[in-house]
Amino acid sequence: MTKDNKGTGKSNQMWGGHFDEMPDELLQKINASISFDNKLYKEDIQGSIAHTKMLVKQGIISTEDGNNIADGLMRILQGIEDGTVKFKTEFEDIHMNIEHKLKGLAGESAGRLHTARSRNDQVAVDFRLWVRNRIDETIADLKNLRRVLVTRAENDAATIMPGFTHLQSAQPVTFGHHLMAYYEMLTRDQSRFEDARKRMNQCPLGAAALAGTSFPTDRFKTASELEFDAPTNNSLDSVSDRDFALEFLSAASITMMHLSRLAEEIVIWCSAQFKFVTLSDKFTTGSSIMPQKRNPDAAELVRGKTGRVYGSLITLLTVMKALPLAYNKDMQEDKEPVFDAAETLQICLKVMAGMLLDMKVNSENMLKSASAGFATATDFADWLVRELNIPFRDAHHITGKAVKLAETKGVDISGLSLEDLQKIEPKITGNIFTVLGVENSVKSRKSYGGTAPDEVLKQVKKAKEELK
C-alpha cells in the first residue's frame, strides 16, 4: 500500500505551480537518482559556476547575485567533501540537492542560477564532464600498463616460450614478443579513448530543455570555461545525445576483452601443467580445503569482470535504442552502467599492472615446453624451400612425414638422424640441423615485427618513444 497524498496541500517545489499534490511514494522511489548520481557533485558545481559566470558577463544576473551563487557553491563543495553536507532523497537528484543547499546559503540569489538552463542540459554537461574525467584517468592507467609491458618485454626479449595456435604448440617465440602483442592491443585501446574524447568534447550547456533559450547567453563562453572545444551545434541533440557514454563503454569493453585474454593466459601459465610463471601471495589466494593450492584469483576476477562491462554497454544501447527526441526519463538509466564500468575498468587495469610486475618467469619450463611438440617443423619446411628450392607444398608434405617418423621414435625432429631424414628426402644435408633448435628458430625470425630478440628490442625501443 502507498500513502495517499491527497489533500495534503503539498506539492513538489520544482513544479508546484502546476501540481497540487506530492507524487506517490512509489513514483518518488523509482524517480529518485540521488543514490547514484551524487557522483556528479563536482561536475555539477563546476558546470553551475561556469554558467553563473556567463550569466553575469552577459548582464543576465547581477554581479552580486553571481558572487553569492559562486560562494555558496564552493561552500557546498567543501561540505560535500568533508561530509557535513548530506543528500536527501526527497530532492530527487544531485542537481536539486545542490540547488536546495544553495538556497539556504545564497538566499534569493540561488533562484537565479537556473536562468537560461534546464536540468536537461545541466545533466548532459555534468555527465560529459564526468565521462571526460574518467577517460583521462583511463588513458593514464593504460599508459602505465603499457609501460609495465614494455619493461617486462625488454627483460624477456630472449626468453623462449612456445607460441600457440588452437592452444597447440606452433612455433617458438620469445616471451618479450608475446607481451608486446598485448602492448599493441592496449595501444589501440588508448587511441580509441583518445578519439572518443575528441569527439565528445563539445559543451551541451545552454541548450536548455530542448530548444535553446531566449536569453542573450554566450554558449562559447561556458564551453571555454569548462575546457570544451566548442558548444554543441543542435539543442535537440545536445540534451538527448549519449553517444559519448556509449563510446566510452564500447572502448572499455574492447579493453576489458584484451585484459581478459591476458588474464586467461596468466591463469594457464600459472597452472601446474604449464608452470611458465608464478604469482606471489600478493595476487593469489589459497583454498579452504586444499592446502597446496595457489589460485590466481586476481587474474580470474579480471576475466570474470569483463562480463560486467559488456553488460553495461548492452544496457545503455538498449535504453537508447527507441527513444524519440529529445530528453526522456529513460535516460536516467544511463549513469549506473557507466559508473560501474568505469570503476571496474580502473581496478582491472591497476590489478593487471600489479600482476605483471609481481610475476616471476620460469624460463626453464618455458624453454622445455618450446622444445617439445615439433615447434620447429615450420623451420624444417622453410629450409627445404630455401636451400633445396622445393615448392612449399611439397616441403610441407616432406616435413609431415618427418614429424610422423619422429612421433614413432618418440623424439623431436632434431632427434632424427640424417639417415632417417634422407630416407624421406635424399637431398637433405646435415645443414638442416642448424635450423632445428628453438634458439636458432627464434633468432631467424628477423622480419619486421617478428619474434627474434633483436627485433623485439627494436619494438621495445619504438614503444618507449611512443610512451614519451
When pLDDT is cut at 50, 70 and 90, the band that residue 7 belongs to is: very low
Catalytic residue among 35, 62, 287, 417: 287
* pLDDT > 80? residue 57: yes
Q: What pLDDT sits at residue 298?
A: 95
Contact 420, 151 (CB under 8 A): no
Catalytic residue among 18, 166, 214, 447: 166
363 in active site: no
When pLDDT is cut at 50, 70 and 90, the band that residue 289 belongs to is: low
* pLDDT > 60? residue 283: yes
* pLDDT > 60? residue 458: yes
* pLDDT > 50? residue 464: yes
Q: State pLDDT tens for residues 82-117.
A: 999 999 988 999 999 999 999 999 999 999 999 999
Q: What pLDDT sits at residue 292?
A: 64
When pLDDT is cut at 50, 70 and 90, the band that residue 2 belongs to is: very low
Q: Cell 570474470 appears where?
A: 304
Q: What pLDDT sits at residue 8?
A: 43
Give the chain's length: 468
Contact 444, 452 (CB under 8 A): yes
Q: State pLDDT tens for residues 228-278.
A: 999 999 999 999 999 999 999 999 999 999 999 999 999 999 999 999 999
230-231 and 277-278 beta bridge pairing: unpaired
* pLDDT > 70? residue 16: no
The DSSP-derived string for 243-305 is: HHHHHHHHHHHHHHHHHHHHHHHHHHHHSTTT--EE--GGG-B--SS-TT--B-HHHHHHHHH
Contact 52, 70 (CB under 8 A): yes
- Which of 177, 153, 175, 178 is CA-nearest to residue 363? 175
Looking at per-residue pLDDT, the higher value among 66 and 12 belongs to 66
287 in active site: yes
* pLDDT > 50? residue 5: no
How large is the average pLDDT for residues 167-182?
Answer: 94
Name the least confident of 129-138, 291-300, 428-437. Answer: 291-300
* pLDDT > 70? residue 313: yes
Residue 462 cell numbers, joined: 619504438
Q: What pLDDT sits at residue 184?
A: 98
Q: State pLDDT tens for residues 175-198.
A: 999 999 999 999 999 999 999 999
Q: State pLDDT tens for residues 356-381.
A: 999 999 999 999 999 887 878 888 89
For a pLDDT cut of 90, what percent of the chain falls above it? Answer: 82
